[in-house]
């Protein structure tokens, strides 16, 4: 199937290993019960394959580790900050940059500067911390992803796209002065790690210009999005990833980024602004009390160096091809076995459709969560629920929010696991699927008032 055999395996070799602890099924049954059936409350040492997140879990390269040793830990004017600025300018074409401790630090600093009380922030689908920071700044987050994203079964190349008609109608209806800005999340995490096409980004820019609005990116997985454009969008097949990234970001006014994903580092974030010097001045002013002085923003010099190097490395097409194809490899195995997933697989994760997997478990009893518990028992795999348990309750009427998309996210860390691990994951999901009729839902024994999924305790519904 591979014409070129150099594309068949990982485009890197392993220089250092981290042993995995192996537990028995009996031990796992006991451990998950002791954790109140909440996978966030397990010790990571008791997890065999950790698919909780791709955030901050990447393996750094030798080149990045070498950069760690070149950290300039000066409080002001660190050379690593200057290097980071150069790299951002070179890749994205943006003039102004500050680091933050992670993605939500960037959101916390930038959003209050852009949002007036009661204004709308229009996104394809906002990520949960993003929505939280919009709401903390007294804005209203609105999702406008295309309808196809909700249809998990059928293929669409860009399920992260904005519904352009809905976007324009909303702006006309609510009036441009009541819109703070438009935010494009690339790739769209909440819809299943799905990309946004260049054409869609361009059209969003056109609409933004028509109504005098700003367009920002939530850029955590920018390189994976660019790779999908190269693979799936006409006219981009012969462009380099760097050229595609440059074009994508030419349509924006700035971005926030959790560097814990595509910048291939374990901690860090960014705010970058194309050319609005006045906004940058405001960002710098707020950054100092919240994150730290402009040239470190909550990071050590060595972290900024690793990030600058990671941002360059992630553009390597051999890396991206392997990365995206590893996720696809897992997705294909599941789909071939008849397991319902968001199709096609995302850039950073395979999302299992929990409602279709366990149709007999009511959504109020968290079917996707029940599957996560079984995957842990089956093979020590820790997946994460992105569904009703995460969604929580309506803040006013306290009723359970039942999201249309209720997923088990099998999130693949970058450069960490091999395809042998993917085989284990696929086999575990198949075995759980084979005994799905016997799987029960869950109810709370303790339900925290906010962000309940992190600390809740549950029990199976008998």
User: Which residues are tagged catalytic?
Assistant: 75, 127-128, 218, 220, 261, 453
* C-beta of 224 vs 353, nearer to ligand P61: 224
Chain Cα centroid distance, residue 128: 10
Q: Which helix (H) or strand (E) holds 396?
A: none
369 binds ligand P61 (CB under 6 A): no
DSSP label of 21: P
Long-range contact pairs involving 316-321 (C-beta distance under 8 Å, separation at least 24): 316/11, 316/241, 317/227, 317/230, 317/240, 317/241, 318/7, 318/11, 319/11, 319/12, 319/415, 320/223, 320/224, 320/226, 320/227, 320/241, 321/7, 321/11, 321/227
Looking at 38, 61, 78, 189, which residue binds ligand P61 (CB under 6 A)? 189
DSSP label of 194: B
- Residue 52 CB, nearest distance to ligand P61 (Å)? 7
185 binds ligand P61 (CB under 6 A): yes
Q: How many CB atoms lie within 10 A of CB 400?
A: 13
List the interface residues with ligand P61, window 422-441 (CB under 6 A): none
List the interface residues with ligand P61, window 84-113 (CB under 6 A): 102-104
Asked if residues 69 and 294 have their Cβ atoms less than 8 Å apart, the reply is no
- Residue 354 CB, nearest distance to ligand P61 (Å)? 16
Total residues at interface with ligand P61 (CB under 6 A) = 16
Site string for ligand P61, 265-294 (x = CB under 6 A): ----x-------------------------
Rounded to whole angstroms, the Cα distance separating 205 from 188 reads: 17
Asked if residues 439 and 432 have their Cβ atoms less than 8 Å apart, the reply is yes
Report the greatest alpha carbon distance in the chain.
Answer: 62
* C-beta of 135 vs 427, nearer to ligand P61: 135
- Residue 103 CB, nearest distance to ligand P61 (Å)? 2
194 binds ligand P61 (CB under 6 A): no
129 binds ligand P61 (CB under 6 A): yes
* C-beta of 53 vs 250, nearer to ligand P61: 53
Looking at 218, 253, 303, 374, which residue binds ligand P61 (CB under 6 A)? 218
Looking at 53, 231, 250, 266, which residue binds ligand P61 (CB under 6 A)? 53
128 binds ligand P61 (CB under 6 A): yes
- Residue 272 CB, nearest distance to ligand P61 (Å)? 14
Asked if residues 326 and 8 have their Cβ atoms less than 8 Å apart, the reply is no
Looking at 127, 216, 357, 433, which residue binds ligand P61 (CB under 6 A)? 127
Q: Name the one range near ligand P61 by CB under 6 A: 14-22, 128-136, 155-163, 276-284.
A: 128-136
* C-beta of 72 vs 264, nearer to ligand P61: 264
Asked if residues 92 and 315 have their Cβ atoms less than 8 Å apart, the reply is no
Rounded to whole angstroms, the Cα distance separating 341 from 354 reads: 9
- Is the dihedral angle over the CA atoms 317, 323, 327, 328 positive or is it negative? positive
CA separation, residue 460 to residues 282, 408, 432 (Å): 50, 17, 16
- Residue 56 CB, nearest distance to ligand P61 (Å)? 7
Asked if residues 296 and 99 have their Cβ atoms less than 8 Å apart, the reply is yes
Q: Name the one range near ligand P61 by CB under 6 A: 122-130, 138-146, 197-205, 437-445.
A: 122-130
The DSSP string of 233-255 is STT-TTS-HHHHHHHHHHT-SEE
- Residue 286 CB, nearest distance to ligand P61 (Å)? 17
455 binds ligand P61 (CB under 6 A): no
382 binds ligand P61 (CB under 6 A): no
The residue sitting closest to ligand P61, measured at its beta carbon, is: 103
258 binds ligand P61 (CB under 6 A): yes
- Is the dihedral angle over the CA atoms 334, 336, 337, 343 positive or is it negative? positive
99 bridge partner residues: 270
Cα separation of the two ends of the chain: 48
**Going by C-beta distance under 8 Å and a sequence separation of 6 or more, which residues neighbour residue 438?**
none
Q: Characterize the bridge pairing of strands 49-50 and 381-382.
A: parallel
197 binds ligand P61 (CB under 6 A): no
- Residue 185 CB, nearest distance to ligand P61 (Å)? 5
* C-beta of 104 vs 302, nearer to ligand P61: 104
130 binds ligand P61 (CB under 6 A): yes
220 binds ligand P61 (CB under 6 A): yes
Rounded to whole angstroms, the Cα distance separating 285 from 289 reads: 8
Q: Name the one range near ligand P61 by CB under 6 A: 125-133, 146-154, 247-255, 284-292.
A: 125-133
61 binds ligand P61 (CB under 6 A): no
143 binds ligand P61 (CB under 6 A): no
Contact residues: ligand P61, CB under 6 A: 53, 55, 102-104, 127-130, 185, 189, 218, 220, 258, 260, 269
């Amino acid at each position: 199937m591979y014409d070129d055999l150099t594309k068949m395996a990982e485009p890197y070799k392993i220089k250092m290993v981290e042993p995995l602890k192996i537990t028995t099924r009996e031990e796992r049954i006991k451990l998950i019960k002791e954790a109140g059936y909440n996978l966030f409350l397990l010790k990571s040492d008791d997890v065999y394959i950790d698919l909780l997140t791709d955030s901050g879990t990447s393996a750094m390269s030798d080149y990045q580790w070498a950069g760690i040793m070149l950290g300039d830990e000066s409080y002001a004017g660190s050379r690593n900050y200057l290097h980071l600025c150069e790299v951002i300018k070179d890749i994205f074409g943006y003039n102004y940059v500050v680091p933050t401790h992670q993605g939500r630090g960037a959101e916390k600093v930038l959003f209050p500067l852009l949002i007036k009380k009661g204004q709308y922030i229009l996104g394809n689908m906002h990520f949960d911390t993003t929505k939280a920071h919009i709401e903390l700044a007294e804005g209203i987050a609105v999702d406008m992803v295309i309808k196809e994203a909700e249809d998990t079964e059928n293929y669409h190349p860009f399920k992260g796209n904005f519904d352009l008609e809905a976007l324009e109608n909303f702006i006309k209806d609510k009036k441009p002065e009541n819109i703070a800005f438009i935010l494009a999340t690339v790739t769209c995490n909440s819809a299943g790690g799905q990309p946004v096409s260049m054409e869609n980004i361009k059209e969003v820019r056109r609409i933004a210009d028509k109504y005098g609005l700003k367009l920002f990116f939530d850029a955590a997985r920018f390189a994976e999005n660019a790779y999908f454009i190269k693979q799936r969008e006409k006219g981009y097949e012969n462009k380099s990833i760097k050229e595609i990234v440059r074009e994508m970001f030419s349509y924006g006014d700035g971005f926030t980024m959790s560097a814990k994903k595509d910048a291939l580092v374990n901690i860090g974030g960014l705010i970058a602004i194309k050319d609005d010097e006045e906004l940058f001045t405001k960002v710098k002013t707020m950054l100092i009390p919240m994150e730290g002085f402009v040239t470190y923003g909550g990071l050590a010099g060595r972290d900024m160096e690793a990030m600058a190097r990671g941002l360059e490395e992630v553009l390597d097409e051999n890396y991206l091809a392997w990365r995206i194809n590893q996720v696809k490899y897992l997705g294909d195995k599941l789909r071939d076995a008849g397991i319902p997933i968001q199709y096609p697989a995302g850039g950073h994760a395979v999302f299992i459709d929990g409602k279709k997997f366990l149709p007999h478990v009511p959504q109020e009893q968290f079917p996707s969560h029940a599957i996560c518990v079984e995957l842990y028992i089956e093979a020590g795999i820790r997946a994460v629920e992105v569904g009703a348990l995460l969604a929580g309750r309506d803040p006013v009427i306290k009723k359970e929010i039942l999201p249309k998309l209720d997923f088990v996210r099998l999130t693949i860390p970058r450069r960490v696991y091999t395809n042998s691990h993917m085989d284990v994951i696929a086999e575990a999901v198949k075995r759980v699927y084979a005994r799905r009729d016997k799987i029960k839902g869950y109810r709370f024994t303790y339900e925290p008032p906010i962000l309940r999924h992190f600390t809740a305790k549950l029990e199976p519904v008998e």
